[in-house]
A and B are shown apart, each in its own frame.
Chain A
């Protein structure tokens, strides 16, 4: 009788009294939906912006990054499974950090932005919203690192307080989502379009996993969709897979596969296609899509050369480079 339905993500969990949703952290307490990890992050770190990864959003700056336990996806290859596939009470430690404390800490540490990341911040939505609203009020930026498995209405509301996102597009294949993430593709595509429509700076990460989503025809279809629906200037990060969690049977992605996928995506017309998780590779640097000038050289998460003009243009041909540079 006292069941509640969580309408945050496409799972629409029906949660019995005293129970939790699929994410483990959104619970039914006395007939009311509560987020048990509100103000209780289990991970708090200061990272380079490039680690999110965001390459076209305030490059070279530091970002306070927070996460709570739980996730609404259950990817077999999850890199952060110790955090994401547990409930809050299963964690070793929890920090007490209400929104105003997170904002104060961000300012005190000299950061310009807060990232909601590591697990999927969708499941601590209310905490994200309140913190982001408080951060926005003092001029901080908000970055949402997500798999994008969220319903449209709550996402549109959240976009009011977000400045940038890196959203996973795990594969351009519904079956992949069903088999490996216990999710579906369509809501993720909808989320990507909403981010674009709402003016949130968008970069996409696609983790390339040998034999599962490294088919070049699929990479081309994905690149076509990104170009047509989101724009050719949307940065795409093709990241190297490392064996992890419940998917240790597959090898790391070969460099040649990543290079070929990058070339396919660029041939389709995407301007900024990066190779990730492969430190020092040429494909992690930014080049002018017009004349090929090296604009930003990166090694790992660090910038080693920066040639963009102050207003974000190529110094040679003055092509405007998409991004939020200052």
Chain B
């Protein structure tokens, strides 16, 4: 096989890898953006009566 042939054979593979990496990066970026957008700004505030007073817990004291 000549050098040209080898080049020709590899080319589509490189293109495919780049495409795959591009899609992966895009997915990661979208996930991160969604994560940031959906993050709550500080703690969730609840009325006192919504506390589960008898829920088992492992706090000392």
Q: Which of A88-96, A179-187, A189-197, A262-270 contacts B (4 or more CB under 8 A)?
A: A88-96
Collect the chain A residues with CB atoms within 8 Å of residue B46's CB: 93-96
Q: In the bound complex, do residue A88 and residue B48 qualify as a contact, i.e. CB atoms below 8 Å apart?
A: no
A145 to B61, CA, bound (A): 7
A54 shortest CB reach to chain B, Å: 11
Mostly helix, strand, loop or mixed at chain B's interface?
loop
Known: A95-B48, A95-B50. A42 touches B43 (CB 8 A): yes
Cβ B60 vs Cβ A80 within 8 A = yes
Q: Are B57 and A96 in contact (CB under 8 A)?
A: no
- Please tell me if B36 contacts chain A, counting CB pairs below 8 Å: no
Residues of A with C-beta under 8 A to B59: 43, 45, 67, 79-80, 83, 118
Which one of A2-10, A22-30, A101-109, A219-227 is at the B interface? Answer: A101-109
User: For residue A104, which residue of chain B has the nearest CB?
Assistant: B48
In the complex, number of A-B residue pairs with CB atoms less than 8 Å apart: 65
- What distance in Å separates the Cβ of B57 from its nearest Cβ neighbour in chain A? 6
Interface string of B24-61 (1 = CB under 8 A from A): 00000000000000000011111111110111011111
Query: Which of A44, A83, A90, A118 touches B51 (beta carbons < 8 Å)?
Result: A44
Whole-angstrom CA separation of A80 from B53 in the bound complex: 18
A contact residues around B49 at 8 Å (CB): 105
On chain B, the residues within 8 Å of A83 by CB distance are 59
Interface size on B, residues (CB 8 A): 18
Kindly state the separation between the CA atoms of A89 and B44 in the bound complex, as whole angstroms: 9
A43 to B43 Cα, complex, angstroms: 13
Task: Assess whether B43 is in contact with A45, with CB atoms less than 8 Å apart.
Answer: no
CB-CB under 8 A from B58, the residues of chain A are 79
**Binary flags per residue of A165-179, CB closer than 8 Å to B gives 1, else 0:** 010000000000000
Q: Which residue of A lies closest to B48 (CB)?
A: A97
CB contacts (< 8 Å) of A166 on chain B: these are 61
Most buried by B among A44, A65, A79, A102: A44
> Is A46 at the interface (CB under 8 A from chain B)?
yes
Known pairs A80-B60, A80-B61, A83-B59; A44 contacts B53 (CB<8 A) = yes
Q: List 15 A-B contacts (CB under 8 A).
A: A44-B51, A46-B53, A65-B61, A67-B59, A80-B59, A83-B59, A89-B42, A93-B45, A94-B43, A94-B45, A95-B47, A95-B48, A95-B51, A97-B48, A118-B60
Task: Rank and list the top 7 A-B pairs by shortest CB-CB distance, nearest first.
Answer: A79-B60, A97-B48, A44-B51, A117-B61, A46-B53, A91-B43, A93-B44
